[in-house]
Amino acid sequence: GAVVSQHPSWVICKSGTSVKIECRSLDFQATTMFWYRQFPKQSLMLMATSNEGSKATYEQGVEKDKFLINHASLTLSTLTVTSAHPEDSSFYICSASPGTGGANGYTFGSGTRLTVV
């Protein structure tokens, strides 16, 4: 089945530094990937849609200069949290689908727990 690998699974960084999170589709090509953010006991909130070879589409209220997304190949999308602050601490999850998200839904990565100290 479709597998999405996300790395790292957790990271702790100092306030003001940048952190990069990778999302890879291991056995399929993904022209589109999605980045979500999840706070404790809350649902997944879409941050942006990552499009291979073009600019990402950000949801309203998400700072594009703070959350940089690069989708340079059909199997890799990266999310960089720039100048991280404690309020950026959260669980970040990526997802992708080998097709149009139909019968097999969207496959999710295992998530990245970011803690900014």
Partner 1 sequence: EDQVTQSPEALRLQEGESSSLNCSYTVSGLRGLFWYRQDPGKGPEFLFTLYSAGEEKEKERLKATLTKKESFLHITAPKPEDSATYLCAVGDTGRRALTFGSGTRLQVQP
* Residue 93 near partner 1 by CB under 8 A: yes
Q: Is residue 24 within 8 Å of 4, Cβ to Cβ?
A: yes
- Contacts of residue 108, defined as CB under 8 A and 6 or more positions apart, other chains included, come to 4, 93, 94, 95
The encoded tokens of residue 6 equal 């996300």
Binding partner 1 (rule: CB under 8 A), the pick from 11, 13, 46, 62 is: 46
Is residue 67 at the binding interface for partner 1, with CB under 8 A as the rule? no
Selected from 32, 61, 62, 74, the binder of partner 1 by CB under 8 A is 32
Position among 56, 106, 114, 116 found at the interface with partner 1 (CB under 8 A): 106
Q: What count of other Cβ atoms lies within 10 Å of the Cβ of residue 49? A: 16
> What Å distances lie between residue 110 and 8, 15, 20, 54, 61, CA to CA?
9, 24, 15, 25, 25
Least distance in Å: CB of 4 to partner 1? 8
54 vs 83, which CB is nearer to partner 1? Answer: 54
Q: Which residues bind partner 1 (CB under 8 A)?
A: 4, 6, 32, 34, 41-46, 49, 91, 93, 95, 100-111, 113
